[in-house]
Amino acid sequence: MAAPTAQPALAPGLARKVKKIMETRTEAPEVVGSLATLSGFYTDNSPAARRRLRSTIENQGVAVNREFLAVAQSVLQALDCVQSDLDALSSCCEAMGGALAGSRAAAADLLHDTARLTRALQTSETRSQLVGRFLEQYQLTPAEATALQGEEVGPAFFAALAHVRQIHANCKALLRTHHQRAGLELMDTMGSLQEAAYERLCRWVQAECRGLSEADAPEVNPLLQQAAAALRERPVLFRYCAEEVAQARHTALFQRFIKALTRGPRPIEMHAHDPRRYISDMLAWLHASLASEQEFLVSLFGDDSQQEALERQGSAAGPAGPAAAAAAAQQAAEGSSAAGAAGAASDGAPTIPQLLDSVFESICRPLRVRIEQVLMSSPPPLLCFRLAQLLAFYLGTVEGLLGAGSQLAEALRASRAMAMRTFQETLRQRGDKLLRYPPPPPRDLAPPPQLVEGAQLLADLIASYEQSLDQQAASQQGRGGGAADADFSAVLSAVVDPLAEMCSRSSEALNPAAASRVDEGSHLDPTDQRVFMVNCLFTLAAPLAGHECALAQAQRLHDTLESHVAAVVGAEVSRTLAKCGLAEVVARLQELQEQGAPSDQPLAADPALELGRVAAAMRTFFARLSDPAMLPELPKLQVPRLKAEAIQRVLQALADAYATVHTALNNPASGYPAAQVAEAVRHTPAQVRTLLGVV
């Protein structure tokens, strides 16, 4: 194989240049930019041009520098012009500074005088403002003085009066400074104006209030309301005006009451024949008038609690500032309800309840006289009780508005007391009459008509008590009726006790052994007295059942009734056992069981318990019970439920008596021969119970 042809070697310098050219990055930004600039003036790419490339680039640089020098020459010329202008301006400023310095030196005295006069003007303006504020706080304007001393009372008068009060209060603060003499003089002047204004205002209010007696429901004049609020600053004058208003309404209310009684399309006295409606209409009119008069007085004089809160707020705002005033106002709002219901206010001014009491004093006597006339006409006891309940309800309402010591409350309280006295006296007279002349028992032992009437009275009294407005209000408010129930329990006792005693005395006519009998009484049934008492007591207890207000009387009657029913059952059992001959046998067995029979002497050895005698009695007993006509029926018991219970108890007792005898006969310790007992007694206690229908 032939050897490769050898390449000629490059000179070291040329090799470095070639290597440098080969390593040059033609895509570099500076290379690309240089080539782009070169393309702008290098247009001929010939060998000669490439040889002159260096000189071409240098010539291009020289041309650029010459162009720059040409442009910079014009800039230098402009800067020279600016410098010359600045030199001229500096010369002018120096000239002006010199002129100003000369002028300042010449006007120094004038500027000093101007500053002094400016300070004097500011001082005068400040003094003028202080004088204006002083006059505003301590002097009245001519318009306010004219309004305060004029005869007309209007918004301008009240504004001037408020300003006078403010000036008077400001004078108190002035006395705490070194201007005490001025404060005393101003306070004396304002005090005189204030007192004269209050007296003029009081006379105006009294004149306005005299016209309130002519209207049934007068509208409150806003000026009159504002005047009343202003007069609260003078309690004595306010009392005079309040009493004038109360006197005017006192007369108007009396006239309205008489008119409501006797005039109009439906006068109240038109129903005088119906006492309950008559008194109800009068009390309803009274309640409506009380509400309207209270609304009128509150709108005129304001609520007592609100006025007291304002007074507390005003007193707290004086020395302690707004924070104390706010605290006092909050405290007054929390205690407003208690303060409003109190008697007289702390400053002696009359309260709304006192004014209402004075207004309604006019109708206390005519109202009480008419109620007493109704009660003196001997009304039935039920009507008296209903009137007492009605008066109690309205008494509670009036006491809540006017207080317990008001004259109207006293009149209603006295009327209610008279109604209760009349009611109790009527009950006492009825009870005495029933006890003095007790009715004779009817032939069928039914309750007498007097007892039925008394039971109906009890039912009506309980219904009236439970439906009364006062009792309903107590239940709705959760107050219960403890005291009211106790009073009503006494009322029920006053009705129940005489009726129960009347029944007891009437039943003595059915007692064969009564000491008051003139005959032997052998024709009487011994149980008739008990049956009559059962019928009467059940009739008397029926209206009391299921009523919480009559629990004591109902329980007492139930106990007495149960004792009489037990006596009737016992007598009927004894009678039935005696008819069949078992009474002595059962009595002897019970006696031996109680005493304890000796072990050496069996029952068969007792003559009263001979087997033949006992067997004959048991056969007779069974024979009588087998006949339905011979069973006890208790026909004179008027109450079906009690009759059924009594008959069931009689049958139960008869079955128990038969079982007692049967057990004694079949007991080996009794000494009876078993064969003879089985022959003589063929019916078991279970068969007897089935026959009697006893479970």
Q: Is residue 499 in some structural domain?
A: no
pLDDT surpasses 60 at 326: no
From its phi and psi, is residue 480 left (phi > 0), alpha (psi between -120 and 50) or beta?
Answer: left
Output 290 or 173, whichever has higher pLDDT.
290
pLDDT surpasses 80 at 682: no
Q: Which of 238, 162, 172, 167 is nearest to 199 (CA)?
A: 238
Note the pLDDT of residue 410: 94
Q: Is residue 65 in some structural domain?
A: yes
Q: Is residue 92 in some structural domain?
A: yes
Position 389, amino acid? Q
What's the rounded Cα separation, in Å, for the pair 403 and 342? 9
* Residue 454, both tokens: 């008394």
pLDDT surpasses 80 at 266: yes
What's the average model confidence in pLDDT over 6-34?
Answer: 73
Of 123, 138, 153, which residue constitutes the final position of a domain?
138
In the predicted model, what is the mean pLDDT of the chain? Answer: 78
* Residue 506, both tokens: 């009437």
Percent of the chain past pLDDT 90, that is, above it, reads: 14
DSSP state of 486: H
Residue environment code for 306-322, b if the CB has 16+ CB neighbours within 10 A, otherwise e: ebbbbbbbeebbeeeee
- Range of weakest confidence among 203-207, 322-326, 583-587, 667-671: 322-326
Q: Is residue 182 in some structural domain?
A: no
pLDDT tens across 466-508, in order? 887 555 555 445 444 556 777 888 888 889 999 999 998 888 8
What's the rounded Cα separation, in Å, for the pair 439 and 433? 10
Note the pLDDT of residue 514: 59
Note the pLDDT of residue 299: 81
Q: Which of 246, 347, 341, 253 is nearest to 303 (CA)?
A: 341
Contacts of residue 58, defined as CB under 8 A and 6 or more positions apart, other chains included, come to none
178-187, 256-265, 342-351, 684-693: which has the highest mean pLDDT? 256-265
What's the rounded Cα separation, in Å, for the pair 635 and 651? 15
Q: Is residue 604 in some structural domain?
A: yes
Q: Is residue 642 in some structural domain?
A: yes
Note the pLDDT of residue 130: 78
DSSP state of 600: T
What's the average model confidence in pLDDT over 451-471?
Answer: 83
Residue environment code for 402-430, b if the CB has 16+ CB neighbours within 10 A, otherwise e: bbeebbbbbbbbebbebbbebbbebbeeb
The answer to whether residues 344 and 351 touch, using CB atoms and an 8 Å cutoff, is yes
pLDDT surpasses 70 at 418: yes
The answer to whether residues 228 and 238 touch, using CB atoms and an 8 Å cutoff, is yes
Residue 434 to residues 11, 493, 497, 505, 641: CA-CA distances in angstroms?
A: 170, 15, 11, 10, 29
From its phi and psi, is residue 345 left (phi > 0), alpha (psi between -120 and 50) or beta?
Answer: beta
Tokens 């309207």, residue located: 292
* DSSP-assigned letters across all residues of 165-224: HHHHHHHHHHTTTT-HHHHHHHHHHHHHHHHHHHHHHHHHHHHHHGGGGG-SSPPPPHHH
Tokens 């008697």, residue located: 343
pLDDT surpasses 70 at 654: yes
Report the Cα 593 to chain-centroid distance in Å. 69
pLDDT surpasses 80 at 334: no
The answer to whether residues 301 and 345 touch, using CB atoms and an 8 Å cutoff, is no
The answer to whether residues 393 and 467 touch, using CB atoms and an 8 Å cutoff, is no
Contacts of residue 543, defined as CB under 8 A and 6 or more positions apart, other chains included, come to 455, 456, 458, 459, 462, 550
pLDDT tens across 247-256, in order? 888 888 898 8
- Range of weakest confidence among 2-6, 135-139, 415-419: 2-6
What's the rounded Cα separation, in Å, for the pair 648 and 598? 36
Report the Cα 644 to chain-centroid distance in Å. 52
Note the pLDDT of residue 7: 56
Q: Is residue 71 in some structural domain?
A: yes
Q: Report the number of distinct structural domains present in the chain.
A: 2
Read off the pLDDT band of 128 (50, 70, 90).
confident
* Residue 483, both tokens: 């005291």
* Residue 243, both tokens: 């009493």
Read off the pLDDT band of 422 (50, 70, 90).
very high
Q: Which of 292, 303, 283 is nearest to 368 (CA)?
A: 283
Read off the pLDDT band of 425 (50, 70, 90).
very high
Identify the helix (H) or strand (E) that includes residue 432. helix 407-436
Side-chain half-sphere exposure of 608, counting CA atoms within 13 A: 13
Residue environment code for 608-618, b if the CB has 16+ CB neighbours within 10 A, otherwise e: ebebeebbebb
Contacts of residue 201, defined as CB under 8 A and 6 or more positions apart, other chains included, come to 153, 157, 161, 227, 230, 231, 237
pLDDT surpasses 90 at 415: yes
pLDDT tens across 21-73, in order? 777 776 777 777 777 777 777 777 777 777 777 787 888 788 888 888 888 88
Of 138, 173, 204, which residue constitutes the final position of a domain?
138
Residue 665's domain comprises 581-692
Read off the pLDDT band of 319 (50, 70, 90).
very low
Q: Is residue 233 in some structural domain?
A: no
pLDDT surpasses 60 at 316: no
pLDDT tens across 336-349, in order? 333 333 444 445 67
Tokens 């990055």, residue located: 25
pLDDT surpasses 50 at 80: yes
The answer to whether residues 574 and 583 touch, using CB atoms and an 8 Å cutoff, is yes
Of 104, 138, 172, which residue constitutes the final position of a domain?
138
Note the pLDDT of residue 416: 93
What's the average model confidence in pLDDT over 658-662?
Answer: 85
Q: Which of 235, 238, 234 is nearest to 246 (CA)?
A: 238
* DSSP-assigned letters across all residues of 311-326: HHHHHHHTTS-HHHHH
